[in-house]
Chain A
């Protein structure tokens, strides 16, 4: 378990992280979501002792990172897959980690296998790796000590869709065996695919927090039907608002179960019915739009 308590980082005039508190639980994949510059990486660096916090603490299973006797065996960390010596081979990078942690040398080959890097690729220098290969190598480095906790900054960055799926399965499996995963991303779609819990951060502050199911629930439905008028009448009669988008999809504040019941009662055939996931997305877009970059562009 990772416990973040009142963590802040202030640089001269700017506040990068502003009194952030949350926990990443065992058996769950926690997605740390926020636009670029929201303070995700700074928070993660503070968790592993690379940056000194202005206030607050970060503990892993109750202990500060610096108090872990052999951190690699307890916490797998990947903060930037590109932060590797370009002139070193992938295998050497894994060997350095393996030797520092003091785990058996065969772990190097096991990890290469796990992240699907071939023997030939492992002998190549990292300067020639694609971002996706670096991410895989970074994951291998994080996992080589067989830790119970993973802290990964933008692990899906640079992965193709198949790679993202592979990452999801790997992390799912890790969490299912009782592991704790904290990963950051600036893409809602990535976090939606991979995470169980979501901590959304903007301008250094937490703006939303909870399980993915909670955050996505209760924001209404998107409904398709050939008989728009009848569906809307049925919904309005039950006291729900509706609106119709240009492609003919009806959005309503009623939950899918309610819409289904009403449609059945009114005898309206539906072509599709699903949860409107716009709630989290809208908040996320609002947050993104708030950054100076977007404002000056608009």
Chain B
């Protein structure tokens, strides 16, 4: 038994020692997001929360607000919270669960692994948004039928596009925090600090110092992202989205990537 299991494949693949293709690493990383207990329930809870949000909207929203936009927002909110957590865990798990010992020896190019993880997180993010769209459509159809109001389709393709961009920026913030800290609790706490505490501080600053109010959209990533969620940004709002993303996402992500490249995997 021992001998056969160990020898008969050798000739088969010894001939084709091709490098591990990126698409394969992406597929494996996608699988790793679902095949743990925590990963599975995170994904499941996104769908469950989306359905609950739809039901809650049907039950509690005033009849005149039963529009596609209301449903989309209700479903999108839990997703923007959960997607970054999925992105964080995808990265930090390699360190906190120490699976990196295997991952980085099977693919000894960390940049490639991180790229694959980022791509698979984005795939999950886009898939989640599409699910939200479908659930929102069903909710809108069912909700208006129950309430007896007219169907209102008030989410344009452009709006849906910017909502996807906004959600992906949230998600990539998770990726960035994962790279930067490589520790699940630290990354999670920091994530809630920068999404909940920081905007509050910016808000207080803006109301006390009128000068800061003008600067705020250029430094407050949450505020800039809200331009994406509240319908397509106009004029310099795009520049503000780009600036805050550079400041709060791209720069720290590059720093985090540097840490990942240098760190010792134990």
Instruction: Write the residues of chain A forming the contact surface with B, with a CB cutoff of 8 angstroms.
Output: 45, 48-52, 65-66, 68-75, 77, 79-80, 82-89, 92-93, 95-97, 99-104, 107, 110-111, 113-114, 125, 141, 143, 145-146, 169-170, 173-174, 177
Contacts and interface: CB of A to CB of B under 8 A. Distances in A.
Contacts of A93: 102
Q: How large is the interface on B (under 10, 10 to 19, 20 to 34, 35 or more residues)?
A: 35 or more
Given A69-B20, A143-B6, A170-B2, A49 B105 contact: yes
A82 B109 CA distance: 23
A70 B27 CA distance: 16
Given A84-B99, A85-B93, A103-B13, A97 B5 contact: no
23 contacts: A50-B100, A50-B101, A65-B105, A65-B108, A66-B108, A69-B17, A70-B20, A73-B17, A77-B105, A79-B101, A80-B98, A84-B97, A85-B36, A86-B97, A93-B102, A96-B32, A99-B24, A99-B31, A100-B20, A100-B106, A102-B24, A114-B1, A146-B7
Contacts of B17: 69-70, 73-74
B99 A50 contact: no
B112 to A, nearest CB: 11
Contacts, number: 130
A176 to B, nearest CB: 10
Contacts of A85: 36, 93, 97, 99
A110 B5 contact: yes
Nearest to B110: A49
A51 B265 contact: yes
A85 B266 CA distance: 14
B6 A125 contact: no
Nearest to A179: B6
A65 B106 CA distance: 10
Contacts of B156: none
B265 A50 contact: yes
Nearest to A76: B105
A215 B102 CA distance: 34
Nearest to A51: B264
Q: DSSP majority for the B interface?
A: helix
Interface of B: 1-3, 5-7, 9-10, 12-14, 17-20, 24-25, 27-28, 31-32, 35-39, 93, 97-102, 104-109, 262, 264-266
Nearest to B264: A51
Contacts of B25: 100
A173 B35 contact: no
A135 to B, nearest CB: 14
Nearest to B7: A177
A71 B100 CA distance: 15
Contacts of B266: 45, 50-51
A167 to B, nearest CB: 12
Contact of B105 (A48, A52, A84, A174): A48
Given A50-B264, A96-B32, A87 B38 contact: yes
A107 B9 contact: yes
Contact of A70 (B10, B12, B19): B19
Given A72-B105, A173-B3, A177-B6, 16 more contacts: A49-B104, A52-B262, A66-B109, A71-B105, A73-B13, A74-B17, A77-B105, A79-B105, A82-B98, A83-B97, A83-B102, A102-B20, A110-B5, A114-B2, A143-B6, A170-B2
Contact of B31 (A72, A96, A113): A96
B5 A111 contact: yes
B19 to A, nearest CB: 4
A104 B106 CA distance: 16
A102 B24 CA distance: 8
Given A80-B98, A84-B97, A107-B9, A69 B106 contact: no
Contacts of B1: 113-114
A173 B36 contact: no
Given A113-B5, A143-B6, A83 B105 contact: no
Nearest to A85: B97
Nearest to B8: A146
A87 B106 CA distance: 20
Q: Which 10 A-B pairs have the closest CB atoms?
A: A83-B98, A87-B36, A87-B37, A69-B19, A50-B265, A85-B97, A83-B101, A110-B5, A66-B108, A92-B35
A71 B109 CA distance: 11
A80 B13 contact: no
Which of B12, B19, B35, B262 has the most C-beta atoms of chain A within 10 angstroms of its own C-beta?
B35
B66 to A, nearest CB: 40
Contacts of A48: 105, 108
Nearest to B9: A146
A179 B209 CA distance: 72
